[in-house]
Amino acid sequence: MKDFASQNENYELRVRESFSKQNLMKTIGASLTRVLPGEVDILLKFRHDLTQQHGFIHAGVVAALADSACGYAALSLMPPDAAVLTVEYKINLLSPALGESLLACGKVTKPGRTLTVCSGDVFALKDGEKKLVATMIATMMSVRGKEGMID
């Protein structure tokens, strides 16, 4: 994996502050565990109220974790006046999301001035084992200034 340099010396604080405002992540109980330039990890402890009919964490929750990890990985490289929005993503659900917790790891594949391509993997953690349950490729857009952004 290539090491990237952030355009914002306060990238970690910025990512953490933005994450703290994300109500969906609060609602599901996700926490930001690692922030590096171009890389972000998000942890979610298993909760029965987030499962689908078979007792697995719902695919929508898995996708939201991967999307947020990718988005914040992209934001970590952007300049201070930029915001990030998802343009598109494709997710492959590889195994049922069942374990003690889920770990979403977002990484920038190719940064750009306007578009940044990222990859995201979601792992189920159980009994000290780590199993890949989903993988995502996503494109994030840099939005300059605050126009159109709600604080």
Q: Which helix (H) or strand (E) holds 91?
A: strand 82-93
β-strands 31-36, 101-110 pairing: unpaired
Q: What's the topology of domain 11-144?
A: Thiol Ester Dehydrase; Chain A (3.10.129)
66: left (phi over 0), alpha (psi -120 to 50) or beta: alpha
Looking at 21-25, 85-89, 130-134, 146-150, which range is the least confident one?
146-150
Residue-level pLDDT at 113? 93
Count the neighbouring beta carbons within 10 Å of the beta carbon of residue 145: 9
The structural domains of the chain, with segments of one domain joined by +, span 11-144
pTM: 0.94
Over residues 10-19, the pLDDT tens digits come to 999 999 999 9
Over residues 115-136, the pLDDT tens digits come to 999 999 999 999 999 999 999 9
